[in-house]
Amino acid sequence: MSSRVAVPRGADPDATDVAIVGSGINALVCGALLARAGVGVAVLEQADVLGGAIRSAELTHEGFVHDVFSAWHPLFVASDAYQALGAELARHGLRYETAHAVTAAVNDDGAIVMTRARDETVAELERHGLGEGARFAADRHGFDAVAPWVMSLLGDEVLSTTTLRSALAARRRLGRHGAQSLAGSLAESARTWLESTYRTPAPGTLFAPWVLHTGLGPDAAGSGVMGRAIVALLEAVGLPVPAGGGARLVEALRDVIEAHGGTCRTGADVDRVLVSGGRAAGVRLTTGAVVGARRAVVCSVTPPALYDRLLADAPVPEWARRAARRFRFGRAGMQIHYALSAPPRWRADDRLGRTPVVHLTSGLSGVSKAVGEAERGLLPEEATIVCGQPCAVDPTRAPRGAWILWIQLQELPARPRGDAGGSIDVGDGTWTESLRERYADRIHARLSRQIEGFDASVRARVALSPADIARANPNLVGGDIYAGACDLDQNLMFRPRPELAGHRTPVRGLYQIGASTHPGPGLGGVSGSLVARRLLRRSRRRA
């Protein structure tokens, strides 16, 4: 192995200021913030479309616009990046829609609905259990007091002056004992939070499924504070979606980059990060073409992809390669997309038809059971079904009178060893088309029990297995839709791994962003924003 990879003679090492590998939300946010500040940017995407996990397509029938993978944008709407870019994104056609209702849970015992109005959620929970509404209000009030610090932890570098100032403010507000209690609660599980706060199963049924959206299970360390943060976010901004499809955000970010002189290229598969004199000097594509970078290379990839592929020939400390190889991927996900001839008629409660995300779940213990089965390599007997209804927010997603269901399953093994339900033969564990459709049939049957006339209303169904998801995006290894397990040892200040924490790498001028880095998965664009801010601060210091 050579100790140095030089930019090939004849290539232009000054082709751009910053080369960005990948085009997910973090890469595009990073590129847009840099381009607006006058920094030359080249975004390089190996796929034939930009956006990473944000992709819209007419998967089923013409006129039905499905968000293929991710769909809901509360993290982005609440982010600093949106505050900085929102006005310009709007000029490029981005418009967000949201609904008053936010989320609901339904099972054979009935439904429970949360809206953005706290007093309405209080009344709803009170209806399900005497005193539960008051407990919810007290819980939310308690979290409001520490939310600025928690949100700074999730929106900035863990070890930063901003986070430190927020922590000191929380310490002054809460006192020493209160601050110690808060610190201890960071490791609390969602089960502990829900069972110690409430007296009936209803709040757990409503809130426990949301822990899955943070990449955790309800018994995982740290899932309690993540669950409370998600509830706060839902109450603050709801579940907004871009009018016309999630890809409108991608298009608007691309337009911002290009309007300020940057470029976005698809079909540009980066094979190597070029290192010269111990510093990232650019990238080489699989075609052999080189894109030089004067200031930095930013990679939105997983740690194994960065250290074992892109830096395969570079002088990188062996401890960094070992740490990257220890990076673990988590449970797999699955998507099922339905085109319906009419809006669903939910049996339990007609409010469900106006609610963006409905979870079909038997509650806290049901979520825990399904997570445990998936982590043991089994197809869950009764998975938590995330039933997204984008038409409840944006009716333009389907022809007039028709409807879309966006189904996400977050409790699956990448390679199943068996079926907890005992009725599906998983063969050798390969996600074949047959296995995918048989498992989708199990989900379909549960939807049929909750939605009147469901079978007759289905015009088309398209399912994507963990293997399909992994093939569509190299960052989603094994179908892990969160690009890496979010257990405490590789989350927050330890993400992607304790030795590699943060976004800088051992190579000068090389940064890593994306869901595999702090603050983890989600469409907030935070890691891209943090690296852009760092690069801009360095530029100002040089000036």
Element (H or E) spanning 273, and its range? strand 270-276
Question: At residue 9, what is the residue type?
Answer: R
Quick one: 16-54+246-327+497-542 is in which CATH superfamily? FAD/NAD(P)-binding domain (3.50.50.60)
Q: Which residues, other chains included, contact 423 with Cβ-Cβ below 8 Å and sequence gap of 6+?
A: none
CA dist list (Å): 495 to 27, 52, 219, 526: 18, 20, 20, 14
User: Does the pLDDT at position 372 exceed 80?
Assistant: yes
**Interaxial angle between packed helices 190-197 and 223-237, expressed in degrees from 0 to 180 and rounded to the nearest 10:** 70
Domain residue ranges of the chain, discontinuous segments joined by +: 16-54+246-327+497-542, 118-211+222-236
- Is 471's pLDDT higher than 90? yes
Give the per-residue pLDDT at 331.
97
Which strand (E) or helix (H) includes residue 537? helix 526-542
Please report the pLDDT score of residue 492 as a whole number: 82
Contacts of 262 (CB under 8 A, 6+ apart): 16, 31, 34, 35, 40, 41, 42, 43
Name every residue whose Cβ is closer than 8 Å to that of residue 446 and which is 6 or more positions away in sequence: 360, 382, 385
Given a cut of 60, is residue 10 above it in pLDDT? no
Give the SS3 label for residue 507. Answer: coil
| CA-wise closest residue to 490 among 375, 328, 303 | 328
Query: Binning pLDDT at 50, 70 and 90, where does residue 5 land?
Result: very low
Cα–Cα distance, 403 to 390 (Å, whole number):
8
- Rounded-to-integer distance, Cα 408 and Cα 390, Å: 13
- Phi, psi for residue 480 in degrees, rounded to 5: -75, 105
Amino acid at the residue 297: V
Q: Cα dihedral sign for 160, 161, 162, 165?
A: positive
Lowest-confidence pick of 5-14, 93-102, 272-281: 5-14
Residues 67, 518, 509, 325, CA torsion sign:
negative
Segment 387-397 shows an average pLDDT of: 97
Asked if 337 and 406 touch (Cβ cutoff 8 Å), the reply is: yes
Kindly give the residue spans of alpha helices, DSSP state H, lying in 92-189: 118-128, 132-155, 161-185
**What is the rounded distance in angstroms from the CA atom of residue 138 to the CA atom of residue 142?**
6
**What are the CA-CA distances from residue 540 to residues 38, 372, 520 (Å)?**
12, 50, 28
Residue partners of 178: CB distance under 8 A and separation at least 6: none
Kindly state the DSSP code that residue 306 receives in the 8-state scheme.
I
Query: Which band of pLDDT confidence, cut at 50, 70 and 90, is reported for residue 2?
Result: very low
pTM of the predicted structure, to 2 decimals:
0.92
Q: Is the pLDDT of residue 13 over 70?
A: no
Strand pairing category for 357-360 and 101-107: parallel
pLDDT range class, residue 353, cuts 50, 70, 90? very high
- Whether the per-residue pLDDT at 92 is higher than 60: the answer is yes
Over residues 273-284, the mean pLDDT reads: 96
12 — pLDDT class (breaks 50, 70, 90):
low
Q: Tens of pLDDT along 139-191? A: 999 888 777 777 777 777 766 666 566 556 656 666 665 555 655 567 899 99
Q: Are strands 263-265 and 41-44 parallel, antiparallel or unpaired?
A: parallel
Band the pLDDT of 8: cuts 50, 70, 90: very low
What is the reported pLDDT for 146?
77
Strand pairing class (16-21; 41-44): parallel
pLDDT over 70 for what percent of the chain? 91
> What is the model's pLDDT at position 162?
61
For the CA atoms of 415, 419, 425, 426, the dihedral, rounded to the nearest 10 degrees, stands at 0
331-346: average pLDDT: 98
**Tens digit of pLDDT for each residue in 479-500?**
999 999 999 999 888 999 999 9
Q: Please give the Cα distance from 61 to 471 (Å, whole number).
A: 23
DSSP helix/strand/coil, 464: strand
pLDDT in tens, 398-423: 999 999 999 999 999 999 999 999 99
pLDDT of residue 203: 97
What tens digit of pLDDT does each residue of 195-249 get? 999 999 999 999 999 999 999 999 999 999 999 999 999 999 999 999 999 999 9
Contacts of 336 (CB under 8 A, 6+ apart): 405, 407, 409, 440, 443, 444, 461, 462, 463, 464
- HSE-CB for 422 with a 13 A CA cutoff: 0
Say what the pLDDT of residue 308 is.
96
Q: What is the DSSP string of 186-247?
A: TT--HHHHHHHH-SSSHHHHHHHHHHGGGT--TTSTTHHHHHHHHHHHHHHH---EETT-TH
